[in-house]
C-alpha cells in the first residue's frame, strides 16, 4: 500500500516523485512505457524560460518564474547539465519593438529580473550571426538551457535512490475506489494500491482521469518539429534566440543546447496527441525561419530531426487541482510550455499545498538529494580517467566514437536507477548514439552490452518500447 501513487514518468511526475521522497512517505511511479521520459519531456527545446511570456496571474507565470529560480540548484544537486546562457527576443521592425516593451513590462509584472532592451548594433556584438535585418532585442539574463531527459531521469533516479518504487510497462487503464484510496490497474491486469493518486500522464491525462470516472479532462496535441545541428556548430549562437511572439506562440527558435549542438525549431501544428512524426513541410518551415533569424546557418551540419507533441487543454493554463469527482485524485495536466522550467516549483507546490493538506508530511532525515550523472567520464581529468580504467577496464573501451562514451558508462547506466533496459534508454542516459552518426556505429555494440548485462538473448533487446526488436536472429 503506497501513500502516494504518481502516474506518468515525465519531468512533472519525476520532479514530484523526488519531492515526495523528501518526506517519510511510501511512494511509487507508474509509467506506461518501457522507460521513463518517453513523452513530451523527451522532445522539447530544453529552454529554462525566464518568465516574460506568460500572462501575469496565471499558473504558468507563477510556476515559470519560481521554477526558473530553482533550476540551477536542482541541476547542480543532480549532476545535470544546466547553463544560464540568457535569451534574446529579436525584433525585426518598429511594430515588433513595441511588443518587446510589452513583454518587458509583462516579465517585470511576473517578477523577472534584469530584463532590458538593446539596439541592433549591440545585438550584433552579442550574437555575431544574427540577421542584418534585426533592429532590437529584449535581453532576459535569467533564461537558461537544460537537458530535459537528463533532468527527468535524474529526478526519478534520485527519488529511487531515496526509496521510491518504479513500475514501467504499467499503463493505467482502470481504478477502483477502496476504503482508504484506490486500486490502480494496468492494461496487463497488475494492481497497485495507494491512498492518493497524482495524474501526471501528459498526453494520457484524459484517459487516466476517465479510469477514475472523471470525464473533465480533454487533452489536445500540437506538434513541434526540430532540426538538430552537429556539435561542430556549437559556437554558432550563444543565447537562445526567439522571434517576437505572435498570438500563435513563441515561434521557431535558434538555440545552443547544453551538449553544444544547435537546435532549430519547434514548429506549431495541431495534431493527434500521439503523432510525433516529422514532415517535409515542417522541416522546410524551420529552415526558412532559421535563415530569417541568422546569417550563414550551417544546415549542412544537420544530424537529425525529431518531433515533440505539446499537450494542452482549452484552459490554456496548467491544471493543478484535486479532481472534482474523484476524491484524492490530483490532476497535474495540461502542462504545456513552460512546463519543463516550472517542474521543480509545481512539484513543491503539489507536495506542500495539496498532498500535505491530506496526509502528515514528516521530513525524511535520510534524504540525499545528490546524484552522479550516468554520462560523466568526459568530465574527469586524465589522471582520474586512468585511475578509473585501472579499477574497471570497461572505462577504457570507447563504444560510441562520436560522443566518446565508454562501455563502463553504459554498464553503469544499465544497473543504475532508473535502469536503462533499451537501446534508446542507454542513449538518453549516456549519449551513446546521440552524435553525428546517430548510432550507426555503436548501436550493435550497445545492444550486445544490453543482452549481456540483462541476461536476455540479443534478439530480445528492444530499441524502445516492448517488441521493438533490432534483430530477428543471430547468424553463427
49 is a catalytic site residue: yes
Q: Is the CB of 153 or the CB of 449 nearer to ligand FAD? A: 153
Within its chain, how far is the Cα of 411 from the centroid? Answer: 23
Strand residues in 335-429 grouped as ranges (E): 398-400, 405-406
Q: Does 266 bind ligand FAD (CB under 6 A)?
A: yes
Q: Tell me the three cell numbers of residue 88.
A: 534574446
In the complex, residue closest to ligand FAD by CB: 339
Contact indicator for 90, 243 with CB cutoff of 8 Å:
yes
Among 47, 59, 166, 470, binds ligand FAD (CB under 6 A): 47
Q: Does 46 bind ligand FAD (CB under 6 A)?
A: yes
Catalytic residue among 49, 239, 331, 375: 49
Q: Does 8 bind ligand FAD (CB under 6 A)?
A: yes
- Which H or E run contains 89? strand 87-91
Q: Does 346 bind ligand FAD (CB under 6 A)?
A: no
Q: Does 21 bind ligand FAD (CB under 6 A)?
A: no
What minimum distance in Å lies between the beta carbon of 33 and ligand FAD?
A: 5
List binders of ligand FAD among 326-345 (CB under 6 A): 335-341
Q: Is the CB of 364 or the CB of 464 nearer to ligand FAD? A: 464
The CA-CA-CA angle for residues 401, 407, 81, to 5°, reads 75
Q: Does 61 bind ligand FAD (CB under 6 A)?
A: no
Among 6, 21, 25, 32, binds ligand FAD (CB under 6 A): 32
Q: 3-class SS at 232?
A: helix
What minimum distance in Å lies between the beta carbon of 16 and ligand FAD?
A: 9
The DSSP secondary-structure symbol of 203 reads G
Q: Is the CB of 70 or the CB of 309 nearer to ligand FAD? A: 309
300 burial type by CB count under 10 A (0-12 exposed, 13-18 middle, 19+ buried): exposed
Among 197, 447, 412, smallest CA distance to 326 is for 197
Residues binding ligand FAD: number (CB under 6 A)? 41
Strand residues in 123-181 grouped as ranges (E): 136-140, 144-146, 165-167, 172-177
Q: Does 422 bind ligand FAD (CB under 6 A)?
A: no
Q: Does 451 bind ligand FAD (CB under 6 A)?
A: no
Among 208, 329, 425, 426, binds ligand FAD (CB under 6 A): 208
Among 286, 287, 272, 265, smallest CA distance to 222 is for 272
Q: Does 40 bind ligand FAD (CB under 6 A)?
A: yes
The CA-CA-CA angle for residues 145, 147, 150, to 5°, reads 150
What minimum distance in Å lies between the beta carbon of 249 and ligand FAD?
A: 10
What minimum distance in Å lies between the beta carbon of 13 and ligand FAD?
A: 5
Among 86, 202, 408, 419, binds ligand FAD (CB under 6 A): 202
User: Cβ contacts of residue 276 below 8 Å, gap of 6+?
Assistant: 43, 223, 306, 307, 308, 309
List binders of ligand FAD among 284-323 (CB under 6 A): 308-310
Q: Tell me the three cell numbers of residue 189.
A: 491486469
Binding mask 221-240 for ligand FAD (x = CB under 6 A): ---x----------------
362 burial type by CB count under 10 A (0-12 exposed, 13-18 middle, 19+ buried): exposed
What minimum distance in Å lies between the beta carbon of 267 and ligand FAD?
A: 8
What minimum distance in Å lies between the beta carbon of 193 and ligand FAD?
A: 16
Q: Tell me the three cell numbers of residue 169.
A: 510497462
Q: Which part of the chain contacts ligand FAD (CB under 6 A), choosing from 111-119, 194-202, 321-329, 459-467?
A: 194-202
Binding mask 128-167 for ligand FAD (x = CB under 6 A): ----------------------------------------
Contact indicator for 217, 324 with CB cutoff of 8 Å:
no
Q: How many residues does the chain have?
A: 476
Contact indicator for 154, 428 with CB cutoff of 8 Å:
no
Q: Tell me the three cell numbers of residue 382.
A: 586524465
What minimum distance in Å lies between the beta carbon of 308 and ligand FAD?
A: 3
What minimum distance in Å lies between the beta carbon of 367 and ligand FAD?
A: 22
Contact indicator for 129, 236 with CB cutoff of 8 Å:
yes
Q: Does 201 bind ligand FAD (CB under 6 A)?
A: yes
A 10 A CB-CB count for 42 gives 21
**Residues with catalytic annotation?**
49
Binding residues for ligand FAD, rule: CB under 6 A, are: 7-13, 30-33, 38-41, 44-47, 49, 171-172, 200-204, 207-208, 224, 266, 308-310, 335-341
Amino acid at each position: 500500500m503506497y501513500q502516494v501513487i504518481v502516474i506518468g514518468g515525465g519531468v512533472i511526475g519525476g520532479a514530484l516523485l523526488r519531492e515526495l521522497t523528501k518526506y517519510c512517505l511510501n511512494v511509487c511511479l507508474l509509467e506506461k512505457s518501457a522507460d521513463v521520459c518517453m513523452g513530451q519531456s523527451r522532445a522539447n527545446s530544453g529552454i529554462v524560460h525566464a518568465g516574460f511570456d506568460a500572462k501575469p496571474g496565471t499558473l504558468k507565470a507563477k510556476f515559470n518564474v519560481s521554477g526558473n529560480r530553482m533550476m540551477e540548484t536542482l541541476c547542480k544537486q543532480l549532476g545535470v547539465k544546466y547553463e544560464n546562457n540568457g535569451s534574446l527576443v529579436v525584433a525585426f521592425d518598429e511594430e515588433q519593438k513595441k511588443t518587446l516593451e510589452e513583454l518587458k513590462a509583462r516579465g517585470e509584472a511576473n517578477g523577472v529580473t534584469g530584463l532590458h532592451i538593446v539596439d541592433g548594433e549591440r545585438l550584433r556584438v552579442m550574437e555575431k550571426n544574427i540577421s542584418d535585418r534585426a533592429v532590437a532585442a529584449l535581453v532576459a539574463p535569467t533564461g537558461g538551457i537544460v537537458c530535459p531527459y537528463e533532468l527527468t531521469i535524474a529526478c526519478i533516479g534520485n527519488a529511487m535512490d531515496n526509496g521510491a518504487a518504479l513500475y514501467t510497462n504499467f499503463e493505467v487503464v482502470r481504478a477502483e475506489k477502496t476504503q482508504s484510496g484506490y486500486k490502480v490497474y494496468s492494461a496487463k491486469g497488475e494492481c497497485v494500491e495507494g491512498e492518493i493518486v497524482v495524474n501526471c500522464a501528459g498526453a494520457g491525462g484524459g484517459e487516466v482521469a476517465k479510469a477514475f470516472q472523471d470525464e473533465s479532462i480533454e487533452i489536445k496535441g500540437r506538434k513541434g518539429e526540430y532540426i538538430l545541428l552537429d556539435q561542430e556548430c556549437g559556437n554558432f549562437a550563444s543565447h537562445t534566440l526567439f522571434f517576437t511572439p505572435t498570438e500563435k506562440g513563441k515561434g521557431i527558435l535558434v538555440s545552443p543546447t547544453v551538449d553544444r549542438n544547435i537546435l532549430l525549431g519547434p514548429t506549431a501544428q495541431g495534431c493527434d496527441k500521439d503523432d510525433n512524426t516529422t514532415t517535409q513541410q515542417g522541416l522546410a518551415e524551420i529552415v526558412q525561419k532559421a535563415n530569417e533569424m541568422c546569417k550563414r546557418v550551417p544546415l549542412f551540419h544537420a544530424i537529425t530531426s525529431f518531433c515533440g507533441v505539446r499537450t494542452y487543454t482549452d484552459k490554456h493554463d496548467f491544471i493543478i487541482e484535486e479532481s472534482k469527482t474523484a476524491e484524492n485524485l490530483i490532476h497535474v495536466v495540461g502542462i504545456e510550455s513552460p512546463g519543463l522550467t516550472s517542474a521543480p516549483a509545481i512539484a513543491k507546490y503539489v507536495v506542500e499545498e495539496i498532498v500535505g493538506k491530506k496526509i502528515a508530511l514528516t521530513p525524511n532525515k535520510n534524504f540525499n538529494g545528490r546524484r552522479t550523472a550516468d554520462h560523466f567520464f568526459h568530465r574527469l581529468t586524465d589522471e582520474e580517467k586512468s585511475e578509473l580504467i585501472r579499477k574497471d577496464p570497461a572505462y577504457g573501451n570507447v563504444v560510441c566514437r562520436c560522443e566518446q562514451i565508454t562501455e563502463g558508462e553504459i554498464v553503469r547506466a544499465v544497473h543504475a536507477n532508473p535502469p536503462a533496459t533499451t537501446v534508446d534508454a542507454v542513449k538518453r542516459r549516456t549519449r551513446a548514439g546521440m552524435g553525428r552518426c546517430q548510432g550507426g556505429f555503436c548501436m550493435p555494440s550497445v545492444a550486445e552490452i544490453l543482452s549481456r548485462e540483462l541476461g536476455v538473448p540479443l534478439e530480445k533487446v528492444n530499441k524502445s518500447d516492448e517488441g521493438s526488436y533490432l534483430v530477428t536472429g543471430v547468424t553463427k
